Structure 1
Amino acid sequence: MTVHSVEPTVRRLHRDGVAAMAQGRPADAVRLQRAGLALLGFGLPIRVGASGAAQRPGPVEDGTTTTGGRYDALAGRLLISLAYAEAERGRTRYGFELLTLAGALIEPDDRGVLVQQRALMLLRTGRFTDALADFDEAIPLLGGERHLPVLCTTLLNRAALYLHAGRVRAAREDLASCERLAQRGDLPLVAAKALHNAGYCDLLSGDLPRALDAFGAAEPLFGRHGPGFLPMLTAARARALLSAGLAREAGRSLDGAVTEFARHRLSQELAEAELLRAQAALGYGDHAAAASRARRAERLFRRRGNDAWVGLATLARLRAQLPGSRAPGGLAARAAELAGRLRAMGLARDAEMADLLAARALVAAGRTGRARDVLAAIPRGRPNESLELSLTRRIVRAELAAAEGRRGPALTEIRRGLAVLDDHRSRLGSRDLQVGITALGRELAAAGFDTVVDGGSPAAIFDWSERSRAQAFGVPPVRPPADPVLAEALAELRQLRESLRTAELERRRVPGARTRCAELERTIRERVRRVAGPGQTVPVAGLAEIEAELAASDRVMLSFLTRHGRLHALLVDAGTVRMVALGDHASVEDAVARLRYDLDALTGRRLPAALDAAIRGSVTHQLDVLSRELMTGLRAELADRELVIVPTMALSSLPWGLLPELRGRPVTVSASASAWLRARRRPVPGERVPGEPVPPLLVAGPDLDQAEVEIGEIAKVYPGSRALTGAEATVAATLAGLDGAPIAHLAAHGHHEHENVLFSRLDLADGPLMAYDIQRLAAAPASVTLSACDVGRTVVAPGDEILGFTAALLYAGTASVVASVARVTHHAAAEVMTGYHCALADGARPARALADASLADPFAPFVCFGAG
């Protein structure tokens, strides 16, 4: 066989190898390019001489011939492609040696191809300055239609380099040119990569919804034209989640990407994913795991000879080691040396982070003068600065000021940092992103709290607690635009959930249904997260405003705080604020968990008398523990006044009305004092159309004993109300009835989803009404009662941000929600709820009506949230 006869096969192998590499399959790419070289007479393996230069072998003994120079150019093209594929498998030095051999074989017209490939390999090994020079040299050499695909990828890769350097505008220009040329040359995979990288531009610019939209648009293109890149899209979304403070969710998604990258031997992507995984662990406070992951990333990058990325991984490791470091001075020296290395490699933003880390370590070591010198040399801020860098800058400056006894400047820096965080939050339309982003300001809020507690008055402490808690309530609600994909996903999820509910009742399985539900929930989350925020926030209420409203309503407020493991309460009355030391937070958390477990157990099947008595005794004991830890020191202060409670962490799901001191007392629970005041001032909707008042809505869900009886009794209280029962109690009908209703009562099975709180739901005739559905309302109902089990439970994030079904109603604008924080029997719910609505119809406020009605059941775990 002659070389001439195999030339078409060689060219096909080369094309297939390039395609395999483009689809993220380097092992296949190596195999195909080597097969082509073998057919050209380049025997396997391609050898590297002792001098480091690659050597072309002689004739192969099976009768094929060497190229003899006639097809050297073709061999050179295969070597160029093989060089990159080998480098991507971790054989970086070998890849560069193959490029040297290729340079002696290619035609002059292919010089641009070789130079851009070398530039890409330099980029992938972190030699950014050299890579940029080669990219700039290659682009003018790649004119003409023949090299159009290579030109597209060159522009794409130079844009990636610009992104590393933070040059977003230059990156956008290259990506726009790349996408335009890719469309002209019918290169859909390259177009998808350009869209993907445009998402990174948006992410660096702080536009998270737009970034998620770009990643979402790229996904189907990758699915059709390059499935091997889907794990990279997963990593991109994880990076976006990290920028929104959702570190645990980012970590879970990265675990899958790490597995895929390892399976396909994508060593650079694997190392980057490990580094992201370290940053995720750092985000949720697992410093040991963060340091371990960062060390692994360092090893992987070092194996590739990628010094720049080694530096980034080292930075992550040092950041993880600072908390609890016994030698912060030594860590400061290592961070300062790293900053110099990163700056020399063109990574100015990362060098600044290393400098800030050094300054922070110096403050921890007590070397405040040296820390001040380091900070003075760092620029005050740059346009398009990342949120993380901006917040870190503020926390370091605040810690230095506090260490030097300059309390005012410390608080100024912290306020400015939280203002930056508020601005970013206001651009997000999804509540879970608004809640998640608070985690990024956790250290700022803690530093501010420590500063005011150490030297401030109770009034100052109250002001600070309001500035740093439940800030997502300060973002006006955004109604998502019409989205056919979202609507279809919601409809299918509802149908599947209904099928699962029916199957559970019939004790049969629905294969694949739960997996599909998880896929649909992911789709819905991602679609909703693309919604942009209103770009504005409502100011935090001042203490004088709160005191005036408390005086007008004759109430007293308890705002709970935790510091160094102990609970405290700020008692706010008309004209006074006092701070009262309470009990141990861990003991309270444990007692709340045990109490809810016991309350749940009492609502199960009929219990033996002895077991029932034991559980009731345990309930009494837990309430005694909570009374001792929470109410000691407050009993005399409270007298018999109505209460507004601003809880913290586990206290958000405590059935307050069961405490002996609060039995029969009106109690309102609100996420913050500001949220309570806004709810109090919210106008009550009354008409959808002028002259047509909206009737109260009463809904009975399926498979719930006494639900229709309960609705029938409550309907007698509200003549003219709209009752939905049986097949009429659909999701669409319920949402239509909720829209702007003055009063709504829903008696339906409820499900609190702790891991996916925005899918907490109520069962209706045609499927679940989910927390996600609530934000579709044009006008929130004024007062809602949920007599279902445990839908009053919430997941509490840093900053006492809350998520759940009840929280969704409050975020949407409902003034008061009465819901259960534990399971409740159908009979007890019907009895308490009927009494509640009778009192409400007689003019009582929700908190008073619930307090009176709950006397009918000693263990009714209902809570009044919102305005009360």
Structure 2
Amino acid sequence: MVFARPKDALARAETVLGNDPTPLHASVAHQVIGLWQRDFGDMRVALRHLRRARDLAADAGSAEREADVLGTLGVALVHAGRTRQGLEAFEQGVDRGTGHTRARVLYRRAYAWWVLGHHREALDDVRRAIPVLRQADDVIWTARALTLRATVHLALGRPERADADFTAAEQLWDTTGQEHDKADVVESRALAAYRAGDIPAALRLFDEAAERYDRLGTPIFMFYIRRCEVLMAAGLAREAVTEADAALGVLDGIGGQSTRKAELLLTAAKAARLADDPHTAIARAAVAVRLFAGQRRSWWEAHARLVLLDARVATGRTSGRLVADAAALAERLAAFGSPAAPEASLLAGRIALALGWTEDAEKHLKVAARSRRVGPPLARMTGWAAQALRAEAAGSGRGVLEACRRGLAVLDDHRMTLGASELRARATAQGAELAALAQRATLVSGGPRRLLVWSERWRATVLSAPPARPPDDPALVQSLTAFREIAARAEEARIDGRPVPALEREQRRLEREVRSRTLHIRGESPGSGRRFDPGRLLERLGDGVRLIEIAVVAGRVQVLLCGEGRVRRFEAGLLADAVTEAEHVQAGLRRLAHPGADGRLPVLEAAGRRLEQLLLGAAVPHLGSGPVVVVPPGRLHRVPWALLPSLRERVLSVSPSASSWLRAQETGPPPGGRHVLVRGPGLASGGAEVPELVDRYGRPTVLEHEGARVPAVLDALDGAALAHIAAHGTFRADSPLFSSLRMADGPLIVHDFERLDRSPYRIILSSCDTGRLANVGADELLGLVTALLPLGTAGVVASSAPVNDAAVVPLMLALHKGLSVGLSLAEALRDARAALPGDATHQATGWAFSAFGAA
């Protein structure tokens, strides 16, 4: 019962002890309480009850009962970090038990061996136990043993064998009422799905297991460790850090298992390292190493040492001692059969390269490179990174590019198994090093055109295909509706000055629910579609149009100027300086959004001149006089390009990549030419431009006041030729896909836009921050604009900074005047800026808006 209905079992055991039981029955009750405390509570209390259960079994004269308790006590002692005492308890249990009881003790010892990282010993014991348990027709313990054997197979990199055992165990569990064990097998299936490369399925199964555990009221720390592993693989390292640290807090609060504390510390260290926080990684990993060593868990200790060593190298440390330590770790991990062994060899090779020890580097990288053809995608990526570094050290540019091409192809296939745009974007971080190596090799010997190809190879790839989604997901729609209602109530309460903590908690819960459902969606299309062709780009640019792609190689801005049938390269400033200057410009725009700051205008213009030098450099005299398309890297997406002197008077558009600009160019308008005007609540101007625009477009669809509700707005937007949305915008840096436009019934978020069959061909977002994007992954952007471009939108006008609502109105009216006479978005925006009054607030408003795409 303790693994079917844990709380009921605990209550029953306490009742038994209160009724003056016999020693035999008291032994069972104490064992049940010990089991409950061992897995869900205080380890010290667990050991006290289990020792009492052992003594009572001896008093009762039952060797079988004593053997059974010794098996439970052995697991508890191992989890408490008392490994030697635990293994002695198992030896005693195996000696005292016979037949069926001995098989149960062997299963428990196999579990302890798995905890300790002794996988071969675990397999030996569980293989001895399974036939006896089957012969005794012990369904529950046979299912447990099969689940454990599957888990060990996963640790040894044998997913096919694991899957067979999980399937057999599930069939047995279906015949029982063991709810906790059933939740455990769902958790194990999640781990198996992850090992097989199916991250969406893993996340879905982990969520299902979490619901089961919650119903049982049992905190399971192995669950958090496993789920954090999948979160890290999905590019959600910061979430993994938060979850691991929270679980550590709970575990410490209840005095839980020492073994799980060490594993959680290791998980937190890995996540911190992936989140570019090496100092936190060092602190967590160092404690984990000490705990694992004290627990005699050498398999785990080796993995913790690898994280510790990698984090130290990330802080800039290099030495011959570190090379030797990494090489020794690689040998230990290989002896354990750990899939992490190539990572240690790669680390040894990197340190050797940094020291200039090319022969040593080649030796270690060669070993690491063996993993490039087998195993899961991320392991093969490790191998291809090692191969690329080998080629670079050997001076083979061709070898570098081939390794990078092959490695990124592996990641392409993996990325497209993910349906959610967020996961696709974050997954690209795994390819950042390969993309950088290729760009570095190309800069040395490849020429500007090839550098353009590699710059495009791993830029804004999330825009290459719309996010996958089920054709109809009522549960997602229901969650979005509930989220919108709660968010609207919370906003209303804030305006009224009423307390909102309860509403905010519910809003966060619903956000998690919406996000979870989208992360569960599996991708449908393999590969990443058509490759970028610079020849096709140059043809589409035509006469007089220039496309500026800004690449960053080794921290330096490289300007790739495309036009007149060729690609030219110019070197500009340092990216770090440009980012700092762009932040100053954003601060200046925020000040000028408020009247009375005219004295700041010259300061802002001077910053624009500095930005131009840092970002365009010697390319400026070669821009010609025609339209310009700017393709910046993700870290520069907030630059107001119209502020730069050489671009101020031009027809100017911005695109996340040259590939996405080409797709926008080749996107045709929908039939029917429907126009949609939306006016949401909360704007200081009241969206005053919307009534003025009605007559300009004949009979447009107008949604305002209570009519501007999200379902009606989405229905009107789907397939429209032109949409203008005047609504308060909110950018969510913490969760960019919850960036929103305020409608009458609550926020219209990015997840809503992703449900459109076809987003509007042209869309104008006339409020603050609607053009802001989050830079994630290798060079990806998430936000309102990037949600629209893959869904059929060819052009967007939006603001990347706070703007003055009143100053927006004349800008928008002038913009639509240009559109109504056939101008493109970029042309109409150029003319609209020129038509604005010359005061600082209006000028800053014009610079804050950009035309994205190509329409």
Shorter-chain TM-score bucket reads over 0.9
Tell me the amino acid that sits aligned with residue 125 of structure 1: L
Instruction: Report matched runs for 1:44-123 at 5 Å.
Output: 66-67=59-60, 70-123=61-114
Is the CA contact 1:696–1:744 (under 8 Å) kept in the aligned structure 2? Answer: yes
* TM-score, normalisation: structure 1: 0.91
Task: Check if 1:174 corresponds to 2:165.
Answer: yes
1:150-299 maps to which residues of 2 (within 5 A)? 150-225=141-216, 227-229=218-220, 231-264=221-254, 265-299=256-290
- Taking only the aligned residue pairs, the percentage that are identical comes to 32
Partner of 1:839: 818
Letter in 2 for 1:747: A
1:810 to 772, 775, 789: 789
Shift in Å, 1:99: 2.2
8 Å CA contact 2:366, 2:386 repeated in 1: no
Is 1:772 aligned with 2:751? yes
Residue equivalent to 1:704: 683
Structure 2 CA distance for aligned equivalents of residues 226 and 171 of structure 1: 28
Q: CA deviation at 1:95?
A: 1.4
2:656 counterpart residue number? 671
Q: In the alignment, is the contact (CA less than 8 A) between 1:182 and 1:191 conserved in 2?
A: yes
Partner-residue secondary structure (3-state), 2:174: helix
Q: In the alignment, residue 263 of structure 1 is paired with which amino acid?
A: G
2:855 pairs with 1:865: no
Report deviation, 1:132: 0.8
Of the candidates 610, 617, 621, which is equivalent to residue 636 of structure 1?
621
Superposed displacement of residue 277, structure 1 = 2.1
Residue 720 (structure 1) shift: 1.8
The question of 1:36 aligning with 2:53 is answered yes
Structure 1 residue 442 displacement after superposition:
1.2
Q: Read off the aligned partner of 2:844 and give its amino acid letter.
A: F
Match of 2:415 in 1: 425
Q: Contact 1:33 / 1:82 at 8 angstroms: preserved in 2? A: yes
Counterpart residue identity of residue 280, structure 2: A
The answer to whether 1:445 aligns with 2:435 is yes
Change (3 A) 1:232 1:764: farther
SS of residue matched to 2:571: strand
Correspondence 1:158-557 to 2 at 5 A: 158-225=149-216, 227-229=218-220, 231-264=221-254, 265-323=256-314, 327-347=318-338, 349-376=339-366, 380-381=370-371, 385-536=375-526, 537-551=528-542, 554-557=544-547
Match of 1:216, as an amino acid? D
- Cα 1:235/1:512, change in 2 over 3 Å: farther
- SS of alignment partner, residue 557 of structure 1: strand
**SS of residue paired to 1:799:** coil
Write the deviation string for residues 95-151 of structure 1: whole angstroms up to 9, x where unpaired. 122223333433443110111111111111111111110110011121367743222
- Distance 1:705-1:3 versus aligned 2 partners, 3 A rule: closer
- Hey, what does 1:50 align to over in structure 2? none
Report if the CA contact (8 A) 1:199-1:215 is conserved. yes
| Distance apart, 1:38 and its partner CA | 5.2
| Structure-2 residue corresponding to 1:49 | none
Bigger mean CA offset, 672-681 vs 616-625: 616-625
The separation in 2 between residues aligned to 1:673 and 1:485, in whole angstroms, is: 37
How much does 1:25 deviate?
Answer: 5.8
Structure 1 pair 22/560, CA: closer, same or farther in 2 (3 Å)? same
What per-residue deviation string (whole Å, max 9, x for no partner) do you get for residues 668-712 of structure 1? Answer: 1111111110111112222xxxxxx36211100012243453111
Q: Indicate if the aligned counterparts of 2:422 and 2:782 stay in contact, CA closer than 8 A.
A: yes
2:669 pairs, out of 684, 694, 719, with 684
Alignment of 1:604-683 (within 5 A): 604=594, 609=596, 612-683=597-668
- What secondary structure is seen at the aligned counterpart in 2 of 1:633? helix
Equivalents in 2 of 1:500, 1:772: separation in Å?
A: 20
The RMSD of aligned alpha carbons is: 2.4
2: CA distance between counterparts of 1:274 and 1:509?
37
Distance 2:793 2:360 in 1: 53
Closer, same or farther: CA 325–695 of 1 in aligned 2, 3 Å = closer
* 1:809–1:4 CA distance, 2 compared to 1 (3 A): closer
Written as runs of structure 1 = structure 2, the 5 A alignment for 1:552-567 is 554-567=544-557
Per-residue deviation, 1:628: 3.6
Q: Which consecutive unaligned segments of at least 5 residues does structure 1 have? A: 43-65, 687-692
Matching of residues 576-587 of structure 1 within 5 Å? 576-587=566-577
Compute the displacement of 1:496 (Å).
1.4
Tell me the distance in 1 between the aligned counterparts of 2:217 and 2:229. 21
The aligned counterpart of 2:12 is: none
Q: 1:464 to 1:218 in 2, by over 3 A?
A: same
Match of 1:595 among 585, 595, 607: 585
CA distance in 1, matches of 2:207, 2:234: 17
> What is the CA–CA distance in structure 1 between the aligned matches of 2:558 and 2:364, rounded to whole Å?
38
Q: Which amino acid aligns with 2:851?
A: C
> How far, CA to CA, are the matches of 1:236 and 1:548 in structure 2?
50
Q: Is 1:742 equivalent to 2:693 in the alignment?
A: no
Q: Is the 8 A contact 1:75 1:102 kept in 2?
A: yes
Q: Are residues 753 and 26 of structure 1, via their aligned partners in 2, closer, same or farther at CA, if it must alter by over 3 Å?
A: same
Instruction: Check conservation: 2:476, 2:517, Cα contact below 8 A.
Output: yes
User: Which 10-residue stretch deviates more, 402-411 or 794-803?
Assistant: 794-803
Distance 2:162 2:475 in 1: 30
**1: CA distance between counterparts of 2:120 and 2:232?**
28
1:786 aligns with 2:765: yes
Q: In 1, distance between residues paired with 2:372 and 2:616?
A: 50
Superposed CA deviations along residues 749-797 of structure 1, whole A, max 9, x for unmatched, are 0000111111000000001100111110011211110001111011112
Which residue does the alignment assign to 1:752?
A: 731
Aligned-pair CA distance for 1:575? 1.4
Which piece of structure 1 moves more, 452-461 or 594-603?
Answer: 594-603
Q: Write the distance in 1 (CA, Å) between the matches of 2:524 and 2:94.
A: 56
How far apart, in 1, do the equivalents of 2:50 and 2:732 lie?
A: 51
- What amino acid is the match of 2:563? D
The equivalences for 1:122-141 within 5 A come to: 122-141=113-132
- Cα distance in 2 between the residues matched to 1:790 and 1:653: 10
Give the conservation status (yes or no) of the 8 Å contact 1:206–1:384.
Answer: no
Q: Please state how far the C-alpha of 1:447 moved relative to its aligned partner.
A: 1.0
How far does residue 661 in structure 1 lie from its aligned partner after superposition? 2.4
Structure-2 separation of matches of 1:382 and 1:617: 55
Kept after mapping to 1: 8 A contact 2:329/2:344: yes
Distance 1:433 1:831 in 2: 40
State how far apart, in whole Å, the 2-side matches of 1:588 and 1:614 are: 23
On the 8 A contact 1:695/1:720 being kept in 2, the answer is no
Contact 2:678–2:724 (CA under 8 A) maintained in structure 1: yes
Decide which moves more: 740-749 or 633-642: 633-642
SS of equivalent residue, structure 1 residue 228: coil
- The aligned amino acid for 2:716 is G
The 8 Å contact of residues 342 and 371 in structure 2, kept in 1 or not, is answered as: no
> Are positions 1:142 and 2:133 aligned together?
yes
- Deviation sequence 1:817-861 (CA, Å, 0-9, x none): 100111112222111111111211210011001111122131121
Pick which of 733-742 and 507-516 moved more. 507-516
Give ranges in structure 2 of 5+ residues lacking alignment. 1-16, 837-841
